Amino acid sequence: MRTNLLSKTKNELILLMKHRGSITAQEAGEELDLAVSTVRQHLSKLELDEFITSHFERQGVGRPRKKYRLTEKSDVLFVNNDRLILSRLIEFLHESGATAHLEEFFDEMAAELLGGYPRQFQELSREQKQARLEQLLESEGYLPELTRKPTGELVIDFYHCPFAAVSESTSTPCEFERTLLSRLFNSPVIQRESIGDGNQCCRFVVKAETTLDEQHRDSA
């Protein structure tokens, strides 16, 4: 477990839920030899950070008990080799000459990730699009930083690349990210920098979008 991300007590609570499945504040207090009020404070913070969720469970007569369990987000607190295995698989396919299958995989991955996003996305304002995209990228672990230029261009920096291990040998992951951004904004996207090339971040520039008013002026 990545113990440096949380306090000692919160780590103990997380591990307890990992082993038990779900717990009450009273059960956790007895197990960790802590006051129930102290446990509740830690649980409330963990729930606020979306590492855990709570529900009420009724057992026979009496008041229902509030139980806590881990969320999918808590997976980041544990050592996970999924990205490493995926990176090695991508590298293997590339070295084996299966580039076409690799491109097809990333294309399907982009389609699955987007789902019904493009249609919803086009109905949002520029500011809303930027905020929604930032949420999407953060959920995928990219550590994004988005900056809107006076020209209307959107500069997107990724300070973490999930595919950094293979981006030096194949540009397919970068093309996947560029395609994803292009589809979301329905605008051309240019990649300026790449972590795989030794840069501090992966930088993409989304060309300025044409608003409906601008389209009407151009057609007039």
Give the long-range contacts of residues 97-105, CB within 8 A, separation 24 or more. Answer: 99/170, 99/172, 102/170, 102/172, 103/172, 103/175
Q: 193: part of which helix (H) or strand (E)?
A: strand 189-193
Taking the C-alpha atoms of residue 201 and residue 91, their distance in angstroms, rounded to an integer, is: 21
Q: What is the pLDDT of residues 146-196, one digit of tens each?
A: 999 998 899 999 888 777 666 666 777 788 788 888 878 878 999 999 887
Per-residue pLDDT band at 55 (split at 50, 70, 90): very high
- The three state secondary structure string of 22-89 is CEEHHHHHHHHCCCHHHHHHHHHHHHHCCCEEEEEECCCCCCCEEEEEECHHHHHHCCCCHHHHHHHH
pLDDT attached to residue 41: 95
CATH 1.10.10.10 range(s) for the chain read 3-77
CATH topology of domain 3-77: Arc Repressor Mutant, subunit A (1.10.10)
pLDDT band at 24 (very low <50, low <70, confident <90, very high): very high
Question: What would the pLDDT profile of 79-127 be if each residue is shown by its tens digit?
Answer: 655 566 666 777 777 778 877 777 777 777 666 666 655 566 667 787 8
CATH architecture of residue range(s) 82-219: 2-Layer Sandwich (3.30)
End-to-end CA distance of the chain: give it in Å, rounded: 62
CATH 3.30.1380 positions along the chain are: 82-219
